[in-house]
Every structure is written in C-alpha cells, then in structure tokens.
Structure 1
Amino acid sequence: MRRLLLLIVLAMAALATPATATPATPARTLSVLSFNIHHGAGEDGVFDLDRVADEIRRTHADVIGMQEVDRHYGERSDWADQPAELAQRLGMHVVFGANLDLEPPSAGQPRRQYGTAILSRHPILEWHNTLLPKGKPAEERRGLLTAVVNVRGVQVRVMNTHLQHDSAASRLLQSAVVADAVVASKEPVVLTGDLNAVPAAPEITTLTAHLRDGGNAYTYPADVPTARIDYVLTNGLPLFSKVLPTAASDHRPVLTALMVRRAR
C-alpha cells in the first residue's frame, strides 16, 4: 500500500504544471480489477456468490471487469442473476453482455445467458456489447463489453472480454477487433480480460501495441498459478499491479491502480 501511495504521489507530481503554464488535462486515478469468477464456483466446486462479493469488496476496486458470468443460466449457479446480485451486494452500477443467449427452460422464465459484466462505483453513461468473430462455427461465442464511465468528470472507456480458450488463431481474430476498438476510442481506455494467452503471444502483443501492461505475475490456475492469462491493460499510466489469491474461482484476480487523462 505504501508503494501504491508513493507511485500515485509521484505520478500526480509529474502531471502537475506551474501556475504560469497552460493547465494540464485533468487526470484521475482508478483502481481496476479483472476477475474471471467461474460462474461463482471456486476450485472446491462450491458455488458461493457471497464469497465472490466478499473478495471483490476487500479489493476496494473502483471498476471490476468480470468474465464467466451467469444470468439465469442454470442449476450450476442456482439460476441466479449474478450481475444484478453482485451489484446489489456491492452497491455498484452494472452492465452485462450476453455472449450466449439461450431459450429459457420453460415458457415465461428468463432467458439463459452467459457472458461478461462490468461493475463500477462511478456512473455508467453508456454501454454496448460487440460479438467477436469465431475461428470455427462450433466455437463458443465471445464478446467485447464496453462501458463509458464518468470518473469524477473524466470519461473512461472500460472494455472487458474473454477470448477463445483453445485456438490461438481465433484469439488473434478477436484481439484484432478489440485493438481496432481501442484505437477508435475518443476516451482513455482500460481493458480487462481473461485473454487465454501469455504476454508474448501475438494475440496479446496485438493489444499491447496500443495499451500498457503493468502486470507480471501468474494468474492461472488459482491454487498454484503457472501461466499469466488475465490482464488489466490501459493507454493511461499503470501505477501498481498485484495478483490476488482467491478461494472463489479457478482464476486469480488482477488488481491494478492506474492514472488516466481526459482526452484533449
């Protein structure tokens, strides 16, 4: 924590301008968590949404990008509306992108959905979900969930995705679409995601050509991680990043503090 505070102070000092100079573009610090919640089940196989909420709460993150989120999906998650329930438990705003949208188990029941979600302490001004290309027809549909968040007067574009787990070629197709969205953004960008690839892979370098990566620790599997596949990337300034232990999922969450400037 002392290191985090020192980095924030140094970054603020670097961004300050003398009274006689043109005022600096407003900057904001933001803490961001990327968390594949494995539909609320830990490696013990137990579904426990309270456990997920407790772990998120302890991070004090401002924005959380979650992957593998169920919405009335099935018995594995007690048919819960996970985005709404987590938002209620944490007192946060939420948006959800349904990448799988299936018929309900019976007439009059909610549709069975699975995808990604963004939680935010700050107001969400707009959002949309873009379905990403498949390399093969049989692959699971993936998406890019995007929300514009008002961070104390500075608009930040938060993106959240979960790339194909078993095909580098498909991930490369998907990451190219994500990279195009990053380049097109008029707002500073924060990208969270389970990208299912290590930092040196082409599908990751496609993104880090435009975004900074402040992390360096393994995230998967949760008990004894041997690979880094979960990320928080930004075209702002990463200040501090930490991978956290978890009992609530099979992925470890990534917590990053960063600074973003309002676009000129």
Structure 2
Amino acid sequence: MRKLITVALSCLFLLPPSVAAAVPSRQVKVLTYNIHHGAGIDGVVDLERIAQVIEQSGADVIGLQEVDNHWSARSNWVDQAAWLAQRLELHFAFAANLDLPPVNTGEPRRQYGTAVLSRYPIRNFTNTLLPLYPTGEQRGLAVAELKVRGQELRFANTHLTSNNNAERLEQAHKVVELLSGSQEPTILAGDLNASPEKPEIKVLAEVWRDTWTEVGAGPGYTHEADHPTARIDYLLHTASLRPTSADVPVTFASDHLPVAASYTFCR
C-alpha cells in the first residue's frame, strides 16, 4: 500500500495543484500475452480460448507475442491477429519478424511475430528489427501510437531472444535507443525472457518503471503456465503513467500467463 501511495503522489506532483484538481483522470487497461501461436499447455491450438482470456481481462490495449500469420499447418495457416481482432471487435496491427515466401505461388507470405490489438484506432505503427546473432531468431520492437480518451499513448511490444544472454542484452539496449527522445506516455510490453535481476532487465528498468514491482502482489510468475516459476513477461511504464493495479490471470490457453495492469495518465 505504501508504494502505491508514493507512486500516486509522485504522479500528482507532475501537475500544478489547480490543474490536477480540474483534469479528470484518464485510465487505460493493458495486457501483455505470449500466446504460443494459440497452443495451450494441452498442445491444442484454440484461438477462441485466447480470445476469451483477452475479453475477460477487459484490456483496452493488448500486446501479443508468438503470433502466426499464414505461418504453417501448426496453426492452420490462419492470420491470427486478424482473427482475434475480428472476434473481439478491436483494431489491430501485426509486426512480422520472420517473413518467408509462400509454399505455393499466389498464397500469402508466411509470417511470425508480434501484434497489437486496441479498442482505439492505431494512428501509426512501426516495427524495427532488433540485433540478431548468427544462431538467433529475428526479434523486433513494434510501436503503436494511440489516442486514449484524448490522451496520446505510445504502446511498444517486443519479444526478446530466449537463448543468448549477450544477444538479449544488446536487444535491450536497442529498445532503449529506439524509444528514447519522446515525452509521450509510454508502455513497454512483452516477453523479455529474463528475470528481474538480469542485466538486460536492469537496462530497461533504468528508463521505465516496472509496473509489477510498483503495484503487483506476489512473485508475478508467468512461465510455465501450469506451474509458473519465473517472471519473464513484463509491463514497464514511464513516470507520466500511474499504475493502479496489476495481476497475472490464471489460464492454460498458452504456455505463458498474461500480465494485466491499469494506469491513470498523469497529464
């Protein structure tokens, strides 16, 4: 409770008292979720289960990782981001970190990466490929520009490498570089594949605040879903956002658990 009160006071101090009293609070709820191409811990690919997790969270903006787009038979060649957006009646943008030619001429390209779903129109969307080592898998940083109830919000979504500490640290530094120089309220969501004490997380935490550390309760473990023992999925935010709650919904729809949080804009 003490840390929540401290965060709230620091947020209010960003505004003159007369302005803080006059401006109504603007809130946004977000979710980050590695969906494992829709495959649950039972090995069954079921996007409806993923959709229900998102729906039940009440999130306004969602960052998804491990999303297939006509990728292969493992996900029935489905454009998963488009399917989820249509099912949930949300706007979406997909970021292809792997982009391969189709099996047959005239078919869609085979893509794999991340996606952003949003109740609010996505005004601008970019994806920048992150540093890649010879034995690694290409990762990227997707950035969506949104306007939430009249307030600008930059929502960044990433999935750092899982099998090389040096590569992941370099990717973290690149994320900091790419997102620097903006005063926009920013949320960085993603599967960062590292626990909080690791150097790559400390690099990011020097720039953005760890939402779970501020308002979460318990260890916040997210992997593996059926017996979680590691916190590797994160929501980080700038000081211009005040987190009011955070939780890890329990679900077996993927091998990861999602992380949900609510924020109030400080300006």
Q: Tell me the TM-score normalised to structure 2 length.
A: 0.89
User: Among residues 223, 243, 250, which one is paired with 2:248 in the alignment?
Assistant: 243
Quote how far apart the aligned CAs of 1:26 are.
7.3
In structure 2, the residue matched to 1:192 is 189
Q: Give deviations 1:174-207, integer Å, cap 9, x for gaps.
A: 0101112232223111010000000111100111
Q: Give deviations 1:73-109, integer Å, cap 9, x for gaps.
A: 0111010000100000001010110000001010000
User: Among residues 254, 259, 263, which one is paired with 1:258 in the alignment?
Assistant: 263
* Contact in 2 for aligned 1:132/1:141 (Cα 8 Å): yes
Distance of 1:38 and 1:255 partners within structure 2: 17
Query: Cα gap change, 1:124/1:24 in structure 2, threshold over 3 Å: closer, same or farther?
Result: farther
Whether 1:96 aligns to 2:127 is no
Aligned residue for 1:184, secondary structure, equals: coil
Quote how far apart the aligned CAs of 1:47 are.
0.4
In structure 1, the residue matched to 2:215 is none
Distance of 1:82 and 1:229 partners within structure 2: 23
State the identity as a percent. 50
Q: Which amino acid aligns with 2:231?
A: R
Distance of 1:66 and 1:23 partners within structure 2: 36
User: Among residues 204, 218, 224, which one is paired with 1:221 in the alignment?
Assistant: 224
Root mean square deviation of aligned Cα: 2.3
Quote how far apart the aligned CAs of 1:229 are.
0.2
The answer for unaligned runs of 5 or more in structure 1 is none
Whether 1:211 aligns to 2:216 is no
Runs of 4+ residues over 6 Å off in structure 1: 22-26
In structure 2, the residue matched to 1:55 is 53
Distance of 1:167 and 1:239 partners within structure 2: 34
Distance of 1:159 and 1:72 partners within structure 2: 23
Q: Give deviations 1:3-43, integer Å, cap 9, x for gaps.
A: 9xx98xx77x9478654x68877752111100000000001
* Contact in 2 for aligned 1:159/1:190 (Cα 8 Å): yes
* Contact in 1 for aligned 2:130/2:140 (Cα 8 Å): yes
In structure 1, the residue matched to 2:64 is 66
Distance of 2:54 and 2:21 partners within structure 1: 36
* Contact in 1 for aligned 2:12/2:20 (Cα 8 Å): no
Query: Cα gap change, 1:156/1:128 in structure 2, threshold over 3 Å: closer, same or farther?
Result: same
Aligned residue for 1:204, secondary structure, equals: helix
Aligned residue for 1:186, secondary structure, equals: coil
Q: Which amino acid aligns with 1:82?
A: Q
Q: Give deviations 1:142-179, integer Å, cap 9, x for gaps.
A: 00000001101111100000000011101111010111
In the alignment of these two chains, the number of paired residues is 254
